[in-house]
């Protein structure tokens, strides 16, 4: 039986091959959209396949449904097989080369019969590519450079890396003459876990554009200017990231901010809502339509903020993290706002390591760092004994650690400090799903985080058996980084996260959002399921040193993106309430 992931991947391949084959754009986008929908589906796709009701899923049309039924039945998707005949799969990678569109990719492939980027490099070196009509030496050079960059850097970076670059640039530009507004847009504003390019918008009158672009392109972090036009410039930074800066007339700023925040999918719905109301929405504004359906540029609606635009389209303001066409429209048609968790709601730190295992600081140092940041508790969770490579604790060491924590808690209490350390452990989930100590030891902890650290590649069904056992264990209060993914480095385990989310809710156990930007696991896209079943999360830094504590802010962004209200985030609660949750096993 295919998994949701399998089906999503097949559809995505069709999308990419269609682009290469020059297939109708809307047809191609339908596959992209279907792929994303299925990736984020809260139920097992096989239920729909068995009931033959795939078209009940919004975004799955009749013809794509047929493709999926055929895939489930035969293991092959006819439409994909057909396109594979036309365009070799190897060319998909070429789509990432900037300066080389699908048309030219196909042309080069047909002319020279090559499918590998290595072969393309050979063609450029030998001067053959430049001879191809319509390309020329300059294009060939540009393509060579782009391949070089591509090999040097990943196409995408993590949210923390992008945040740092964006902050530096915004900081250097925000006080320049003419800058009335400046905001980050694109996927970074939406808090996606990985970012392609960084989009920055400046609201300024046209007369300032030249100087502002000069300042941007000569910024000390810039190594290459990728392009400079009337209203947009693109650069490459020393970190290898692309940054697009757009200068917008102040009166269009709100419309542009909305448009360039995206997502594309969100924008599509917004545009059709505008049409339904006799208006046309674009990056410049919202206009009335003529009877014939064309935009009347002389009839702009005036507004100041994004919220005004949403209001004109029958919605309250949608927080940028939620703009993915993942149910936000239904919510904000009905509600004024969603009480999403905020950084300032966090009252404590859960999931941290000390020198007892593989952390860099003592328990006291970690606790004091938490206090300095205004937190009220620290849930210490060193590694368990099976994690020998990470200095996992033996039964004897655990008892010593408990004594140390008792002493520190007494000391804090007598010094009048409002701070408590919880005795926890990050227990490995063993191959059979059991925890790493006997019950008499487990009994002594305030709480247990259960995580998989070994045999991450266990087949799905076996893996689920491990998790089912771990969650059913009454000592497990939180599941740690469920898939074990390392973003842009390693895929996570193959598990049915929808089932895991439902199971956790049923057993009143939390699944953490591991806030380390390498992990951000549980993924935000399971937020709808978590919301439907009332699953609790905890925004956990998994801190191995003091700086690690500050990573919680990325977890907050992901939690917001997953639509978690404050009430469903454990570490927004008081120490007493957290303890009550721990004890309610």
| Residues near ligand DGT, by CB under 6 A | 186-187, 192, 195-197, 199, 259-260, 262-264, 267-268
35 binds, among Zn ion, Ca ion, ligand DGT, none (CB under 5 to 8 A by kind): none
Q: In terms of CB distance, is 19 or 280 closer to Ca ion?
A: 19
CB count in 10 Å sphere of residue 214: 12
Q: In terms of CB distance, is 104 or 451 closer to Zn ion?
A: 451
Integer Cα distance of 354 and 368 in angstroms: 13
Least separation in angstroms between residue 452's CB and Zn ion is 9
Q: How far is CA 373 from CA 182, 475, 570, 579, in A?
A: 29, 30, 18, 21
**How is residue 151 written in tokens?**
């090999």
Least separation in angstroms between residue 244's CB and Ca ion is 4
572 binds, among Ca ion, ligand DGT, Zn ion, none (CB under 5 to 8 A by kind): none
**How is residue 440 written in tokens?**
């008499």
Tell me the number of residues near Zn ion by CB under 5 A: 1
Integer Cα distance of 561 and 568 in angstroms: 14
Give the burial class of 323: count Cβ atoms within 10 A of its Cβ; 0-12 exposed, 13-18 middle, 19 or more buried: buried
Give the burial class of 360: count Cβ atoms within 10 A of its Cβ; 0-12 exposed, 13-18 middle, 19 or more buried: middle
Least separation in angstroms between residue 232's CB and Ca ion is 9
Least separation in angstroms between residue 448's CB and ligand DGT is 37
Q: Which helix (H) or strand (E) holds 120?
A: helix 117-125
Q: Which helix (H) or strand (E) holds 21?
A: helix 4-21
Quick check: 418 and 320 in contact, CB under 8 A?
Answer: no
Quick check: 254 and 261 in contact, CB under 8 A?
Answer: no
386 binds, among ligand DGT, Ca ion, Zn ion, none (CB under 5 to 8 A by kind): none
**351: Cα separation from own chain's centroid:** 21
Taking only Cα atoms into account, the Rg of the chain, rounded to an integer number of angstroms, comes to 26
Of 177-185, 249-257, 403-411, 449-457, which part binds Zn ion (CB under 5 A)?
449-457
518 binds, among ligand DGT, Ca ion, Zn ion, none (CB under 5 to 8 A by kind): none
Of 10-18, 25-33, 68-76, 447-455, which part binds Zn ion (CB under 5 A)?
447-455
Q: In terms of CB distance, is 285 or 541 closer to ligand DGT?
A: 285
**Terminal CA-CA length for the chain:** 35
262 binds, among Ca ion, ligand DGT, Zn ion, none (CB under 5 to 8 A by kind): ligand DGT
Spell out the SS3 assignment of 298-366: EEECCCCCHHHHHHHCCCCCCCHHHCCCCCHHHHHHHCCCCCECCHHHCCEEEEECCCCCCCCCCHHHH
Least separation in angstroms between residue 377's CB and Ca ion is 38
Q: In terms of CB distance, is 25 or 583 closer to ligand DGT?
A: 25
- DSSP notation for 471-486: HHSTTEEEE-STT--B
Least separation in angstroms between residue 201's CB and ligand DGT is 10
Of 147-155, 325-333, 451-459, 568-576, which part binds Zn ion (CB under 5 A)?
451-459
Q: In terms of CB distance, is 17 or 256 closer to ligand DGT?
A: 256
Of 17-25, 125-133, 443-451, 517-525, which part binds Zn ion (CB under 5 A)?
443-451
**How is residue 74 written in tokens?**
């035969």
Which among 36, 43, 105, 34 is positioned nearest to 63, based on CA atoms? 34
Least separation in angstroms between residue 338's CB and Zn ion is 30
354 binds, among ligand DGT, Ca ion, Zn ion, none (CB under 5 to 8 A by kind): none
Integer Cα distance of 117 and 90 in angstroms: 9
Least separation in angstroms between residue 139's CB and Ca ion is 21
451 binds, among Zn ion, ligand DGT, Ca ion, none (CB under 5 to 8 A by kind): Zn ion
- Per CB under 5 A, 263 contacts Zn ion: no
Integer Cα distance of 165 and 237 in angstroms: 8
267 binds, among Ca ion, Zn ion, ligand DGT, none (CB under 5 to 8 A by kind): ligand DGT
Residue, CB closest to Ca ion: 186
Least separation in angstroms between residue 185's CB and Zn ion is 34
Residue, CB closest to Zn ion: 451
Q: In terms of CB distance, is 258 or 546 closer to Ca ion?
A: 258
Least separation in angstroms between residue 29's CB and ligand DGT is 10
Quick check: 241 and 197 in contact, CB under 8 A?
Answer: yes
Interaction site with Ca ion (CB under 5 A): 186-187, 196-197, 199, 244
Q: In terms of CB distance, is 257 or 429 closer to ligand DGT?
A: 257
240 binds, among Zn ion, Ca ion, ligand DGT, none (CB under 5 to 8 A by kind): none
Quick check: 351 and 366 in contact, CB under 8 A?
Answer: no
Q: In terms of CB distance, is 166 or 556 closer to Ca ion?
A: 166
Integer Cα distance of 219 and 203 in angstroms: 19
Least separation in angstroms between residue 322's CB and ligand DGT is 13
CB count in 10 Å sphere of residue 229: 9
263 binds, among ligand DGT, Ca ion, Zn ion, none (CB under 5 to 8 A by kind): ligand DGT
Least separation in angstroms between residue 156's CB and Ca ion is 10
Q: In terms of CB distance, is 19 or 483 closer to Zn ion?
A: 483
Quick check: 456 and 492 in contact, CB under 8 A?
Answer: yes
Least separation in angstroms between residue 542's CB and Ca ion is 27
Q: Residue 255 contacts by C-beta under 8 Å, 6 or more apart in sequence?
A: 281, 282, 283, 284, 285, 286, 303, 309
Among all chains, which residue has been given the structure tokens 């655990």? 398
Give the burial class of 4: count Cβ atoms within 10 A of its Cβ; 0-12 exposed, 13-18 middle, 19 or more buried: buried
CA angle 332, 508, 45 (to 5 degrees): 60
- Per CB under 5 A, 451 contacts Zn ion: yes
- Per CB under 5 A, 357 contacts Zn ion: no
Least separation in angstroms between residue 286's CB and ligand DGT is 15
559 binds, among Zn ion, ligand DGT, Ca ion, none (CB under 5 to 8 A by kind): none
Of 33-41, 103-111, 365-373, 450-458, which part binds Zn ion (CB under 5 A)?
450-458
Using DSSP's 3-state secondary structure scheme, residue 434 falls into coil
Q: In terms of CB distance, is 64 or 471 closer to Zn ion?
A: 471
Contact set with Zn ion (CB under 5 A): 451
């Amino acid at each position: 039986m295919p998994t949701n992931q399998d089906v999503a991947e097949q559809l995505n391949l069709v999308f990419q091959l269609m682009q290469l084959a020059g297939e109708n754009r809307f047809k191609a986008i339908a596959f992209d959209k279907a792929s994303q929908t299925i990736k984020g589906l809260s139920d097992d796709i096989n239920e729909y396949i068995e009931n033959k009701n795939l078209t009940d899923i919004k975004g799955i049309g009749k013809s794509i449904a047929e493709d999926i039924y055929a895939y489930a039945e035969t293991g092959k998707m006819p439409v994909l097989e057909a396109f594979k005949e036309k365009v070799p799969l190897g060319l998909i990678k070429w789509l990432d080369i900037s300066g080389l569109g699908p048309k030219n990719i196909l042309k080069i492939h047909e002319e020279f019969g090559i499918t590998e980027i290595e072969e393309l490099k050979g063609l450029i070196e030998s001067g053959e590519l430049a001879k191809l009509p319509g390309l020329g030496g300059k294009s060939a050079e540009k393509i060579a450079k782009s391949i070089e960059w591509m090999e040097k850097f990943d196409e995408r970076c993590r949210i923390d890396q992008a945040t740092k670059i964006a902050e530096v640039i915004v900081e250097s530009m925000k006080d320049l003459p003419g800058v009335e507004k400046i905001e980050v847009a694109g996927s970074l504003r939406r808090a996606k876990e990985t970012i392609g390019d960084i989009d920055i918008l400046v609201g300024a009158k046209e007369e300032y554009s030249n100087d502002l672009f000069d300042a941007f392109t000569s910024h000390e972090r810039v190594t290459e200017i990728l392009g400079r036009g009337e209203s947009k410039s693109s650069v490459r930074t020393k970190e290898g990231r692309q940054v697009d800066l757009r200068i917008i007339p102040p009166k269009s700023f709100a419309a542009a901010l909305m448009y360039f925040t995206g997502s594309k999918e969100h924008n599509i719905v917004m545009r059709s809502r505008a049409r339904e109301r006799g208006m046309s929405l674009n990056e410049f504004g919202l206009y009335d339509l003529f009877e014939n359906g064309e935009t009347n540029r002389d009839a702009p609606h005036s507004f100041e903020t994004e919220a005004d635009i949403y209001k004109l389209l029958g919605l309250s303001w949608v927080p940028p993290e939620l703009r993915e066409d993942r149910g936000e429209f239904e919510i904000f048609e009905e509600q004024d706002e969603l009480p999403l968790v905020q950084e300032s709601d966090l009252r404590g730190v859960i999931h941290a390591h000390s020198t007892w295992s593989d952390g860099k600081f003592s328990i006291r140092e970690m606790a004091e760092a938490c206090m300095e940041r205004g937190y009220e508790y620290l849930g210490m969770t060193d590694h368990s004994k099976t994690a020998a490579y990470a200095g996992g604790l033996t039964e004897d060491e655990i008892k010593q650690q408990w004594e140390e924590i008792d002493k520190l808690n007494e000391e804090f209490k007598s010094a009048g400090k409002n701070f408590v350390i919880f005795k926890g452990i990050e227990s490995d989930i063993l191959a059979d799903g059991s925890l790493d100590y006997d019950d008499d030891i487990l009994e002594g902890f305030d709480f247990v985080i259960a995580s998989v650290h070994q045999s991450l590649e266990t087949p799905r069904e076996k893996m689920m058996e491990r998790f089912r056992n771990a969650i059913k264990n009454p000592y497990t209060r939180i599941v740690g980084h469920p898939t074990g993914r390392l973003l842009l480095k390693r895929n996570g385990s193959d598990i049915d996260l929808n089932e895991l989310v439902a199971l956790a809710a049923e057993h009143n156990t939390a699944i953490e959002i591991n806030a380390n930007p390498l992990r951000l696991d549980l993924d935000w896209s399971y937020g709808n399921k978590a919301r439907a079943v009332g699953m609790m999360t905890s925004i956990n830094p998994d801190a191995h040193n003091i700086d690690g504590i500050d990573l919680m802010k990325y977890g907050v962004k992901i939690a917001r993106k997953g639509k978690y209200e404050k009430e469903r985030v454990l570490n927004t609660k008081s120490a007493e309430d957290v303890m009550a949750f721990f004890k309610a096993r």
